[in-house]
Structure 1
């Protein structure tokens, strides 16, 4: 088998995150986003002695359970990957792949409590980031999502199905306005142009919308007319803020280098499990609000009675879990590296009149040494790379009888659990929470 070779392959198994596995003789071929039971035409991209990797050129035959995708952009858009299989099938695949990771890591003897499905299968996202660009070189301006597998190509979106339909309405009005005013989009190749991104956020409980248009500072433009157009729209939610952010960074990310509020405020308020959370245009917040309630409910359940206990919430972000568990604990410490996240957390603590939380800015490994109150329970909710070896050893050294690990990446979770198991800990129970229908991702608690 050689690099560049084209083969017809049958996917007989999958592994996390939705990597299809096919056999050619004694060699295993791994193909990203290939579905179990499908037949695919693949180009080999890497080839070693006993293993190869390939890229799908064409799906020759879908699994028997395949369905017609609801989204008309599905084949081209790089957002969703699994809309063409029923949601129950997606859930079973995520379960099987995560449990396979645990088996391969020899982590057993725990109670598996199943997978919690997202309350909404579609229109579940509270935040969408759209990009200005074009679909073809020298083509007209488009506003939408990156084309699957194509970094520079932006496909126009008018019927995104994983966000509220208000997003589609806003997207079209903004796109038409920018074309009408002949505003140039930012070219990633030569770093020239003006329009970069459009970010829309929504609160599900209060039905509020916040719109953020991100541009370079290479020219000036007054968006007042656009704001007036948006305010006249008949929407299911209320537009409470429109801001204009400047971003001259060369990286392809939304970066705040200063912004102006052109209408209303610069935040929305979401309610989760009876608490209020102020979410700015740049705050991190779980993108599935209703799914987050399920996730945090599992954490509360696992916490149990902590009325006279000290709880550490490590990698606490904007302090959502910290505040939710504070109602069941005597004292909670939240540690987070990102200063802006802790500032938002402290603001939300005031909003919710909570007085038994102390937030600490800094590296978890360093700040753990400074807290005088020793923990009874530790909650760990790290970023995708998991907990580093030094910080993990410090956590283990506390010797607490109970830890709750919330993971957005099962692969790094099992690596951390192997180290914990070696130190004498065992996994008592686990539940999966699906926050991201039609994608490969899943949360583990």
Structure 2
């Protein structure tokens, strides 16, 4: 009887775990922790963060552990899929790259990271273009039509925005017929009740770049509109196919709430600070901090992101935000002493994966603000930048990890640093 109970528990555990597995678990390099319970994955990530920062951080600090993602599956609100084949001259595939392969593409409509709606759209798109015998764009020969499929899905509303990325190697009349047929095939999914969400827009994007990347050489709308809105901590953000936005919406709310907590500013304070949000993207943090700031200033090198930030601030009726487009170092140097760029009281940095350029970091340190918050999408970059910050008198007070990417080996970190008195 005891043996039967043990076998039953093992079978139940296996069945529970199998629901997280996809057909490509041994071939796709996207997921690292598909075969272990999520609790074990989080514990492993937490140990890795401690092992990385404990030897680097000087003195005592409060490690607040890791905040789990609210969703462990179907959390990605954006995916970029590639057309290709899994073997030379094989049937058309549409999905993700095979592990350790530049050319082989896996059909990944079973992927568990995005919402199942994306899988339905992926499958319908692949079958449609297989029927039409259209060729994918060959990376070496630079011939073919189909390149990528970009899909975004709003977490709060379920609206879906997608764009077929293709070359311009089809005659215009043939292309129009092909694209309208694809649009109608996708619309039939919604009509037949195969989607939980609904389409905001179906688009197509021209791309004749030699690079194997999603590049916008011109986008046109086949159905609906070219944007939707996503809500984040009470603010609305306009999302276009190529907007920068955190890929885990609910996880981003946890991340940004931690940034707000570390700022320690009150909306009711008599004297409010000037806050710099450097590497600000579409201005999410800038707008969130505007509630407690006299003025919140965002700096971002991507001009499209800055324009989106301005539009989002207008949509949210936020009037004390200013956004600058340009390299962080150049913008700060140009604004030194200028009336339009007041001296900061508090600085938040959220740099790209490689961290901050040495001179930009030196410039940020030169302001001598009492406190700053560093948001790192690559913890190793923060660990490297801490050397200069600590040498300049900044001490890590608190550090918290946020699991923005369940089932992968990535994790974000937020650190609060305070400048010690000389």
TM-score (norm 2): 0.88
Alignment of 1:4-403 (within 5 A): 68=18, 69-220=20-171, 221-222=175-176, 223-233=179-189, 234=193, 235-305=195-265, 307=267, 308-369=272-333, 370=335, 372-403=341-372
CA distance in 2, matches of 1:90, 1:345: 35
1:325 Cα shift? 1.1
Of the three residues 411, 414, 434, the one matched with 2:380 is: 411
1:70 Cα shift? 2.0
* Secondary structure of residue in 2 paired with 1:428: strand
Q: Which moves more between the two structures, 369-378 or 309-318?
A: 369-378
Q: Which moves more between the two structures, 185-194 or 75-84?
A: 75-84
Query: Is the 2:328–2:360 contact (alpha carbons within 8 Å) kept by the matching residues of 1?
Result: yes
Query: Is the 1:314–1:378 contact (alpha carbons within 8 Å) kept by the matching residues of 2?
Result: yes
Unaligned runs of 5+ in 2: 1-15, 415-422
Greater share of helix residues, 1 or 2?
Answer: 2
1:367 Cα shift? 1.1
Of the three residues 382, 400, 403, the one matched with 1:431 is: 400
TM-score (norm 1): 0.83
Count of aligned pairs between the two proteins: 381
Query: Is the 2:349–2:373 contact (alpha carbons within 8 Å) kept by the matching residues of 1?
Result: yes
Task: Report the CA distance shift for 1:386/1:398 in structure 2 as closer, same or farther (over 3 A).
Answer: same
1:155 Cα shift? 1.0
Q: Write the deviation string for residues 234-260 of structure 1: whole angstroms up to 9, x where unpaired.
A: 210011101110111111110000111
Task: Report the CA distance shift for 1:192/1:107 in structure 2 as closer, same or farther (over 3 A).
Answer: farther
Could you tell me which residue of structure 1 aligns to residue 419 of structure 2? Answer: none
CA distance in 2, matches of 1:231, 1:350: 33
CA distance in 2, matches of 1:415, 1:283: 29
CA distance in 2, matches of 1:113, 1:341: 32
CA distance in 2, matches of 1:421, 1:96: 23
CA distance in 1, matches of 2:81, 2:388: 40
Query: Is the 2:69–2:406 contact (alpha carbons within 8 Å) kept by the matching residues of 1?
Result: yes
Structure with greater contact order relative to length (CA < 8 Å, sep ≥ 6) = 2
CA distance in 2, matches of 1:204, 1:391: 35
Query: Is the 1:107–1:418 contact (alpha carbons within 8 Å) kept by the matching residues of 2?
Result: no
Could you tell me which residue of structure 1 aligns to residue 8 of structure 2? Answer: none
1:103 Cα shift? 2.2
* Secondary structure of residue in 2 paired with 1:196: strand
Query: Is the 1:130–1:143 contact (alpha carbons within 8 Å) kept by the matching residues of 2?
Result: yes
Query: Is the 1:209–1:240 contact (alpha carbons within 8 Å) kept by the matching residues of 2?
Result: yes
Query: Is the 1:249–1:255 contact (alpha carbons within 8 Å) kept by the matching residues of 2?
Result: yes
* Secondary structure of residue in 1 paired with 2:296: strand
After the TM superposition, list the runs of 4 or more consecutive aligned residues in structure 1 that deviate by more than 4 angstroms. 66-69
CA distance in 2, matches of 1:172, 1:83: 22
CA distance in 2, matches of 1:256, 1:284: 14
Query: Is the 2:57–2:386 contact (alpha carbons within 8 Å) kept by the matching residues of 1?
Result: no
CA distance in 2, matches of 1:347, 1:207: 22
CA distance in 1, matches of 2:46, 2:33: 15
Query: Is the 2:228–2:240 contact (alpha carbons within 8 Å) kept by the matching residues of 1?
Result: yes
* Secondary structure of residue in 1 paired with 2:211: coil
CA distance in 2, matches of 1:306, 1:366: 31
* Secondary structure of residue in 1 paired with 2:220: strand
Kindly report the root-mean-square deviation, in angstroms, between the aligned alpha carbons of the 2 structures: 1.5
